[in-house]
Homo-oligomer: A and B are copies of this chain.
Amino acid sequence: MTTETSTRPAKVAMNGVDVPTLLATIGAVGDARELAKFTFRAKGDWISGAHSRVSIRDYFGAGAEQDRERTMTVDADHTTVLCGDDEGPTPVELLLAALSACITAGIGNIASARQIKLNSVETTVEGDIDVQGILGLNEDVRNGFSGIRATFKISGDASSEQLRKIVEQSIARSAVFDVLTNGVPVDIVAQTA
């Protein structure tokens, strides 16, 4: 009598993703769910007009305070058409950037976990906004986007069907897609010096 064992090849790093470590990380969080609690932070400073700079560095996650090696900054401003100085993207454009980046990051991870080599991911994200809302000209017009449209063009060493499913899975697990489509409670406190 012989014993047959069926083994699948171990998954390897690809697309810039350390797949064994990614899978081990998911397993570790699965074994210790409290590691899953994260708090991300951003700190902003007004500079002039509609221009501000936001700093991003530390966060809480995996059971401890985490400190990156460098502080990342994002400048934002209004456009000159709306009397800003174009010193950075508008805040609403940062929402579009966040959506692009979140789903693209997911595509990178998911393709790699499925051992599919990616060639490229190109996105276009558009948001429509009627600024009568923010300008206080029409109470029936919302302040924010009325709708967002996006196209994710993906190329890789797999069938169109497999590639499309990677995009779909990334959308299904996207934190930013969830927040933008479902909203989130926001609590703001104003302090005066």
Contact = CB atoms under 8 A, between A and B. Distances in A.
Copies of this chain, complex-wide, total 2
B108 A46 contact: yes
- Most B CB contacts (10 A, CB to CB) among A51, A59, A175 go to A175
A175 B132 contact: no
Contacts of A192: 153-155, 160, 163-164
Given A105-B77, A137-B29, A188-B151, A142 B178 contact: yes
Nearest to A128: B39
A103 B103 CA distance: 26
A79 B61 contact: yes
Contacts of A17: 49-50, 83
B99 A135 contact: no
A115 interface: no
A150 interface: yes
Q: Lowest 3 A-B CB distances belong to which pairs? A: A16-B48, A76-B101, A44-B100
Interface of A: 15-18, 21-22, 25-26, 29-30, 33, 36-52, 54, 56, 59, 61-62, 66, 68-70, 72, 74, 76-79, 81-86, 88-109, 112, 118-138, 141-155, 160, 163-164, 167-168, 171, 173-193
